[in-house]
Amino acid sequence: MRTPVAMTIAGSDSSAGAGIQADLKTFSHFHVHGLTAVTCIVAEVPGRVQSIQPVDIGVVRDQIKLGFETYPVNAVKTGLLYSAGIIAALCDEFERLPRASRPALVVDPVMIASSGDPLLQPLAVEAYEERLLPLASLVTPNLDEAGALTGRKLASLADLKAAGSELAERFGVPFLVKGGHLRGKTAVDVLFGPGEPTEFTAPFVQRACTHGTGCTYSAAIAAQLALGQDLPSAIGEAKRFVTRAIRESMDWLQPQPVWALKQW
């Protein structure tokens, strides 16, 4: 049995529900080996971003370059990229690969944390538009991110569909626009590609904490692509996985010193 390899290029979330940590756990779930290129370190808990430190651009570049040189990387997923300089380094390394042997590239254009805190420098949006999005095999914006890319506020499924077809047309790559933020009875995501748009629907799960669901979803798509699935099957499988992850999200066991002592 050979193990497929995927790479995540994303930020570190100290609460480990989003970012690199969510990506690695998701890759492991699907028995895909995950390589990591850490772009920044975020001190945070769900709902509160305390501080962000970007990693030196040369070190980000080396993590990506070494991974590509050493492993048969079959899929790449990008999350929080933080700055235009990091995006440029990533694009340089990706474009260096021969076109025919480039891995699938899933771009999750992370811009704002679910707490509302900005995570991406404003100039980085231009770098996304000019260099990274045209290289993607799939871009997975939520409603706010699709709104930032179209320059409009999106508030309905009709707005989502108009934005999705506009973005897929403009960048010439497939877009999966996620409608979970519409908070309907169902969570509808729509894939805009070369053919007719395809809808992916799951029951909307009411949960207080959805921190990291976007990261988990795009990592699951990348894992499925690394396993050789086509795009619609990969998205379908990933959507089922993330819906279950939200439904079964964890409650914490409180520290129990008395219990620990009894064991001793």
Q: Which residues bind ligand PXL (CB under 6 A)?
A: 10-11, 13, 18-19, 42, 44, 79-80, 110, 113, 212, 214-215
How near is the Cβ of 114 to ligand PXL at its closest, in Å? 6
- Residue 110 or 222 with smaller CB distance to ligand PXL: 110
Can 39 be counted among the known catalytic residues?
Answer: no
Helices (H), 133-230: 143-150, 157-171, 213-226
Can 186 be counted among the known catalytic residues?
Answer: no
Partnered with residue 105 across adjacent β-strands are 76
In Å, how far from its chain's centre is CA 39?
Answer: 14
Q: Which of 34, 39, 214, 216 is catalytic?
A: 214
How near is the Cβ of 194 to ligand PXL at its closest, in Å? 29
Can 70 be counted among the known catalytic residues?
Answer: no
Residues in the chain: 264
- Residue 18 or 225 with smaller CB distance to ligand PXL: 18
Q: By the 8 A CB rule, do 200 and 237 touch?
A: no
Closest CA to 230 of 100, 164, 138: 138
For residue 56, give the 3-state DSSP assignment: coil
Can 213 be counted among the known catalytic residues?
Answer: yes
Strands (E) across the chain are located at: 5-13, 33-45, 48-54, 73-78, 104-107, 138-139, 175-178, 186-192, 198-203
- Residue 49 or 163 with smaller CB distance to ligand PXL: 49
- Residue 4 or 177 with smaller CB distance to ligand PXL: 177
Q: Which of 210, 216, 239, 243 is catalytic?
A: 210
Angstrom distances, CA of residue 147 to CA of 42, 143, 167, 171, 174: 25, 6, 10, 15, 17
Q: Which of 34, 78, 215, 216 is catalytic?
A: 215
Q: Which of 26, 36, 213, 243 is catalytic?
A: 213
Can 214 be counted among the known catalytic residues?
Answer: yes
How near is the Cβ of 110 to ligand PXL at its closest, in Å? 5
Closest CA to 154 of 178, 185, 187: 178
- Residue 44 or 189 with smaller CB distance to ligand PXL: 44
Closest CA to 135 of 174, 166, 163, 161: 174
Q: By the 8 A CB rule, do 78 and 91 touch?
A: no
Can 239 be counted among the known catalytic residues?
Answer: no
Q: Which of 178, 179, 216, 243 is catalytic?
A: 178
How near is the Cβ of 252 to ligand PXL at its closest, in Å? 19
- Residue 32 or 119 with smaller CB distance to ligand PXL: 119
How near is the Cβ of 99 to ligand PXL at its closest, in Å? 29
How near is the Cβ of 18 to ligand PXL at its closest, in Å? 4
56 by Cβ neighbours in 10 Å (0-12 / 13-18 / 19+) ranks as exposed
Q: Which of 212, 216, 239, 243 is catalytic?
A: 212
Catalytic residues: 178, 210, 212-215
